[in-house]
Structure 1
């Protein structure tokens, strides 16, 4: 199968040719027929492979659990981009943002200062980006909390990081295997073993 057809496009589709100095963040809203979840990293378009069942389940599970447990002024949302700067507009798998960061139904991105938590669920085709490139950029942009989710025997393992504002780097706080229980950015208690079950996502 051709790359174009894999993304639901005609085989004759011509991929966008980048300008000499690379794409900019606003191009993601202007370029026609981009595949879903296309990101901009250092001026280059990054196309996502089809999601695995694990990846999709974890995203929806965390959005549901965080929505249920977040204070009223915050909300969890899945798969929207952050406009970090002119040449970088990544798409975390899960974000927590203030409710009043809503600019309307056609909104496609958030400012980095609006993001309280960014979560990346590591995929086989994005290991380096999810473990190194994107968290480094989130930290430099001042996103205060970052979680990295890895798969182990079909269940999520969550690596919890907190920003050191002096160095703009993340420090590992802890690693959670069966129960994710943290106090920041707000009290969270999630049963990670229930990701494949239907029903109430919270663990407390």
Structure 2
């Protein structure tokens, strides 16, 4: 049994993540959050030589985080540390781009689909989903509030397995994001699991195996051939 949460632990705190039971089978982060392949960076004063933009004394703040230069890696902020994932491979990027196009064509006018934007799930916690469906089309912001995110989508890469299966869904659910879609690329073709927020936790509402269509009803109805999107060399018509 997990350690009881203190009344002072907010829903998005690291302790709350550790004690969440929404994804118990996938949760492998006892103690400080970590991922398989990802890297949680927080330097100590002994590591004060500034040899890299990621070398930093003490906890990272949002101000520190947003001052970082652009980087091919995905860098996210989590409770004073940086969650660093290597750049995704071509299959991942191809699927992300074509999925954004397909969802954007199917989305109603009051929704917009964006790739890789900053989402502040809690103070000091900035995540970058692969895709989001947002409720304020055309809004020009550096970081999105979770109240404006209808769905977060993650495409699992070797460097993001732990984050995408355990850490991120728990933070998205704690932030009140109604829908979460996880796509796996570790089989002969993409598979997927779609979740809806119910009583503070994500519950699976639909899924697709390799070769099957993914049929979503929310946040808008759409049928997706993930295998075709992952192999196409041009955006789908």
TM band (smaller chain): 0.7 to 0.9
1:182-202 deviation digits (Å, cap 9, x = unpaired):
211111111122121245637
Counterpart in the other structure of 2:107:
70
CA RMSD of aligned residues (A): 2.1
1:12-54 deviation digits (Å, cap 9, x = unpaired):
843444453x212343221345554311122211222121111
- Higher normalized contact order (CA 8 Å, seq sep 6+, divided by chain length): 2
Counterpart in the other structure of 2:52:
14
Q: If the length of structure 2 is used for normalisation, what is the TM-score?
A: 0.71
Counterpart in the other structure of 2:207:
175
CA-CA distance at 1:69 after TM superposition: 0.2
Q: 1:1-204 maps to which residues of 2 (within 5 A)?
A: 13-20=51-58, 22-32=59-69, 34-100=71-137, 102-103=139-140, 107-164=141-198, 166=199, 168-177=200-209, 178-195=212-229, 196-198=231-233, 201=236
Contact 1:160 1:175 in 2 (8 A): yes
| Alignment gaps of 5+ in structure 1 | 1-11
Contact 1:39 1:91 in 2 (8 A): yes
Contact 2:179 2:195 in 1 (8 A): yes
2:177 counterpart SS class: coil
CA-CA distance at 1:100 after TM superposition: 4.1
Contact 2:74 2:87 in 1 (8 A): no
CA-CA distance at 1:147 after TM superposition: 0.4
Contact 1:160 1:172 in 2 (8 A): yes
Alignment length, in residue pairs?
185
Q: Which runs of 4+ in 1 moved over 3 A?
A: 15-20, 32-36, 198-202
| Alignment gaps of 5+ in structure 2 | 1-49
1:83–1:127 Cα change, 3 Å: same
Counterpart in the other structure of 1:8:
none
1:173 counterpart SS class: strand
1:160 counterpart SS class: strand
Q: If the length of structure 1 is used for normalisation, what is the TM-score?
A: 0.82
2:127 counterpart SS class: coil
1:32-82 deviation digits (Å, cap 9, x = unpaired):
455543111222112221211111011112101110000011110101110
Contact 2:98 2:235 in 1 (8 A): no
